[in-house]
Chain A
Amino acid sequence: MEQNHTEHVDHFDPVASKIGMWLFIFTEILLFGGLFIVYSVYRYKHPVEFHLAHQELDVTIGLINTIILLVSSMTVAMSITALQTGNKKLTLIFIAVTILLALVFLVNKYFEWGAKIHHDIYPGSEFLMSLSKGDMLFFGLYFFMTGLHAIHIIVGVALLGVVFAKVKNGSVNQNRFSLLENGGLYWHLVDLIWIFLFPLFYLIH
């Protein structure tokens, strides 16, 4: 999109891009905030059904996924430190590990959802429609919120993939690493949201 000499010289301001990223993260939190409000209202209205429905979820697989995401948050943070010290190879390894962990998370999610769908529990299914209203809402929220979160994981993977390529070709480097930093911030956000989703669906009694 550059228009030779008539377009402005690319103005590089890492602080600006960091502020921009933080503002974007606010909007993401508010996006999920709307869902948390809906969750709270319906949990308040149907406490017993929500409690019974949550027992259908597999805490172990949820816990494994929580650990995976926490570790991936750590590896993405380590990749930034590695780049700051100028170790490009280590940076690439850490980004790759982060992406790999994200994919493992998605595979787990696939099996978890698959088991539910196999038992005929999915939005609009005949079986779910025959259950109580609280059950319908619980599983509706479960699929919608974890689904939206999974979409964020996929976006995060794509973002980290771009960063990986840019670190490799040197356009993201020791002196100019705000893209990696912002990618990392986004990844922490994805992690943070899961930290709230996990207890809401799997743990609260």
Chain B
Amino acid sequence: MTGNFTTHRMPSYLEQQGKYTGIRAWILSTDHKRIALLYLYSQLFFFFAGVVMGIFMKLELIAPGQQIMGPQTYNALFTVHGLTMIFLFIIPGLAASFGNFMIPIMIGAKDVAFPKLNLFSWYLFILGAIIILVGIFTGDGPPDTGWTFYAPYSLKTNTNVVLTVFGAFVLGFSSILTGLNFIVTIHRMRAPGMGFFRMPLFIWSLYGTAWIQLLATPVVGITFLMVVADRLLHIGFFDPAQGGDPILYQHLFWIYSHPAVYIMILPAMGAITEIITTFSHRTVFGYKAIAMSSLAIAFVGYLVWGHHMFTSGMSETARLVFSFLTFLVAIPSAIKVFNWTATMYKGSISLEPPFWWAMAFIFIFMIGGLTGLVLGSVSTDVHVTDTMFVVAHFHYIVFGGAGLAFFAALHYWYPKMFGKMYNKKVANRGLLLLFIGFNLLYFPMFILGMMGMPRRYYDYLPEFATPNLISTIGSWVLGTALVIVVVNLLRAKKGTPEEIDDPWGGRTLEWKIQSPPWIENFEEIPTVEHEPYELTEK
């Protein structure tokens, strides 16, 4: 593969005419790039729905007392906000959209191993989303259990838990099948010469993620089915009145839902690795260490679920062991951060928007990580558990980590995926505003948590007023910034091949083909002769 793409161009996957036209050319396409965009659009739709709900919650909390909604509405709102953001945006996350688009291209293949299964996964995703939506708008009101569906309240509440839980079960299936598809693709479809240790690190992170999706999701799937059975058939798995154990529910739930945090964050770290390496114009530092740290996070991530339950009722030994294992996860995470820094050291850094997004990611993720230590240690956790501190930490990691990386990846691969280049100045300003808004919104929550403000209440004592007001103002800044960022992307202009085929000087395979790619990606399957980030002449 050489850089002759400017002279000879094929029709891109966006323009390609197949048997179907109009919308059917998209929803019946088995092309991984089109499916990736289906995911991208649906995920962004749900993300903005979640943002709107978040802004309404912050508005309610602008001052003590009831502002715009009562307690029941507020409970429903934080539940639905959580469900939407977690199950419909960030668990499919970077894997379903950017992973789908990039895995085949980055390993030099024409598509994933099972293209039809890939499309089927998207249908399951949409089906699950529809079931959840129906659950929200029918029956006796949207669920008010929080996204965790803790028993026994989830068995007792009159709201429409059955449908939403079942929707989450269907989404789990979609996630499992995507993971399965990716694992087989990575094992079977690599181009000649692309050994496992020649794969880009984004692929390594997705490989670790896929195993978590595959091996953790079934456990929560069956747990959700048990909740449905408890409600419909009164079996009593988790109902103490019938001998069931609600703590057992928490164990089963977190056996999946803690690894799920790594489903969200691992691909994010992978994308950040790609971005930092590209813009530092250096070979990545510690390739094998980063690759292995992805697998280490995936593995250790299984064994730490108990840290969600330090105050739920567990033996002292269990709490100490879970606390210790939780601290172990910090090692592979830190390996990544140190290697990113070492990659930048003495690099020739170009300060383009994706790089700034990566920097914002590292800064925010670090705050999230360090405050995680407070929660990982039993003695401090019992003081701040169920306070706003947890909410702040969680949003620093999941929104500030995985969410920012999602937008970093979007800015990085945007020219490749759409053949357009956005206004870089506006992108930078949008990011700056978002960074300010983000910290205004979430940092006061750390202080509120330390002061003792509990989470999940629509009202609070007067002494919590000032930080809450700042936080609400932050939510407006953040909302504005997101609009600027997205509008800027939508207004991106078609570029010439020189501007869009490889705008950043990337070295992985996706930058060696035209933008947007042809439907078969490569005119001939490339032969890989060197490490992924080697500086070669083009």
A interface residues, Cβ below 8 angstroms from B: 1-4, 6-8, 11, 13, 15-17, 19-20, 23-24, 26-28, 30-35, 37-38, 41-42, 45-46, 123-124, 129, 132-134, 136-137, 140-141, 143-144, 148
**Residues in B neighbouring A143, C-beta threshold 8 A:** 233, 235
B219 CB-CB contact with A under 8 Å = yes
Cβ-defined contact, B218 with A27, below 8 A: yes
Contact size class for B? 35 or more
Known A30-B215, A42-B243, A148-B225; 5 more pairs at CB < 8 Å:
A4-B19, A6-B16, A13-B113, A136-B242, A144-B233
Which of B28-36, B94-102, B529-537 participates in binding chain A?
B28-36
B226 within 8 A of A: yes
**Is A123 a contact partner of B111 (Cβ separation < 8 A)?**
no
Tell me, in angstroms, the Cα distance from A41 to B249 when the chains sit together.
12
B221 is contacted by which of A7, A31, A123, A134 (Cβ under 8 Å)?
A: A31
Bound CA span A137–B237, Å: 7
Give the chain A neighbours of B236 by CB distance below 8 A: 123, 133, 136-137, 140
B187 touches A19 (CB 8 A): yes
When distances are taken between beta carbons in the complex, the residues of chain A under 8 Å from B111 are 8, 11
A38 touches B218 (CB 8 A): no
Say yes or no: B235 contacts A34, CB within 8 Å.
no
Interface of A is mostly: helix
Q: In the bound complex, what is the Cα–Cα distance between A51 and B395 (angstroms)?
A: 48
Q: Given A8-B110, A27-B176, decide whether A35 and B235 contact each other with a Cβ distance below 8 A.
A: no
Residues of B within 8 A of A8 (CB): 110-111, 115, 519-520
CA distance A41 to B114 in the complex (A): 39
A24 CB to nearest B CB, Å: 6
- Point out the residues of chain B lying under 8 angstroms from A45, CB to CB: 243, 245
Chain B interface, >50% SS class: helix
State A194–B17 Cα separation when bound (angstroms). Answer: 50
Inter-chain contact A38/B188, CB cutoff 8 Å: no
Q: Confirm or deny: B18 has a beta carbon within 8 angstroms of a beta carbon on chain A.
A: yes
The residue of chain B having its C-beta at the shortest distance from the C-beta of A139 within the complex is B235
Select from chain B the residue with minimum beta-carbon distance to A15. B188
- Alpha-carbon separation in the docked complex, A199 to B437 (Å): 59
Given contacts A34-B222, A35-B222, A137-B244, contact A16 B113 (CB under 8 A): yes
Q: Which of B16, B181, B234 has the most CB of A within 10 A?
A: B234
B468 to chain A, nearest CB (A): 40
CA distance A46 to B31 in the complex (A): 53
Residue of B nearest to A10 (CB): B115
19 contacts between A and B (CB under 8 A): A1-B119, A4-B18, A7-B19, A7-B30, A15-B188, A17-B114, A19-B183, A20-B117, A23-B183, A27-B214, A28-B218, A30-B218, A123-B234, A134-B243, A136-B242, A136-B243, A137-B242, A140-B235, A143-B233
